[in-house]
Amino acid sequence: FISLEDDLMRLFGSERIAAIMDKMGAKEGEVITHPLVTKSIERAQKRVEQRNFEIRKRLLEYDDVMNRQREVIYGRRKKILLAEDLEDEIRTIIEDVVADIVEAHTNSKPREDWDLEGLRREFREVFLIEPKVDGQIDLGTLEEVLSQAAWELYERRRALFDPEQIKQFERMALLSAIDDLWKEHLYEMDLLREGISLRAYGQRDPLVEYKREAFEMFEDLVARIDREAAKALFWIPVQEFEEPRWLRRRRGGERLIHEETTGMGFKVPAAAPPPVVPVEATGPGPVEVPEPPKKPSPVRVGKKVGRNDPCPCGSGKKYKNCCGRKIWRKETT
């Protein structure tokens, strides 16, 4: 049963039905089985279910945007984790970063309007070399020349390190760039989702605006990941870095040895006994081994003075209250 005063019925015209029932003489609390009421309830329930379905569908469309981005990022991360060699991945990153730098400073403008100085400066900031760019070169050749120069430099720097070490460093650099920037991106997407509904006041569909801005933010995320990964790879100090501890353990086990443990909470080991030197007999009979010298004991001169005896100094006081007190203080301190 459902009351005409229920929230569901009040939203869909229960006042009109209540007025009709009053005219028909229905009393308060009476069970109404009229077809008019039954059909009104069915229509109200259908409208509520349709509204709830549209809400859920809308939420799923918002969530689908993040799910697609998550699939791309997680897929790339899994590829880096499972790859034996990241050479192809790194080369693709270098080419993409070079293309972004060239696009930012040429912007499909005529050759005379290119910002070659800014291009050299940004290229040096990422790849640590300043390219020699000819103003007469075309756009496609420019990207190819810069990508090749950056890759050749990386190969030379890569050869300075142990192959196993550099592979682990490359994997760590790429994963760190992805993880750090992905966390920032999730926070930015939450902020976008909270305020996107206000676009409806400007006669714009919030879902369409959300998809458009989310796509732009994701493109920027991928570009920043590539750029940060490239900087981490090219900024490796040209010196032998310490081998990771877990790699040392894998190669042969690691032993931690402290030559001196005094002061660390450990007992100091007892000194080893002196070595025993065998003594050869020079003749028949037992060999006499001299005993170690004994520590001399103090020799007392004169009679021992008791605590209650008169003090030998002649003061007339008892020994314990005169010279004996001084001796007792020295012994206690």
> Domains of the chain (ranges plus CATH)?
1-82 (no CATH), 83-239 (1.10.3060.10)
Is the pLDDT reported for residue 105 higher than 90? no
Per-residue pLDDT of 62-101, as tens digits, reads 888 999 999 999 999 999 999 988 999 999 999 999 999 9
Comparing C-alpha atoms, which of 35, 31, 43 is closest to residue 2? 31
Average pLDDT, the chain: 76
Q: What is the mean pLDDT of residues 18-32?
A: 61
Q: What's the DSSP call for residue 85?
A: -
pLDDT at site 57: 74
**Cα(158)–Cα(247) distance, rounded to whole angstroms?**
19
Residue 73: is it exposed, middle or buried by C-beta count within 10 angstroms (0-12/13-18/19+)?
A: buried
**Cα(246)–Cα(162) distance, rounded to whole angstroms?**
16
Q: What 3-state class would DSSP assign to 285?
A: coil
Is the pLDDT reported for residue 145 higher than 60? yes
Q: What is the mean pLDDT of residues 215-234?
A: 94
pLDDT at site 237: 72
pLDDT at site 188: 94
Vertex 103, ends 101 and 109: CA angle to 5°? Answer: 135
Is the pLDDT reported for residue 42 higher than 70? yes
End-to-end, the C-alpha distance of the chain in Å comes to 98
Comparing C-alpha atoms, which of 133, 140, 139 is closest to residue 111? 139
Q: Which residues pair with 310 in a beta bridge?
A: 318
pLDDT at site 307: 72
**Cα(174)–Cα(293) distance, rounded to whole angstroms?**
75
Q: Longest Cα pair distance anywhere in the chain, in angstroms?
A: 146
Comparing C-alpha atoms, which of 175, 172, 129 is closest to residue 154? 129
Residue 256's contacts (CB-CB under 8 Å, 6 or more residues apart) are: none
pLDDT cut 90: percent of the chain above it = 31
If you average pLDDT over each of 19-23, 47-51, 109-113, which comes out highest?
109-113
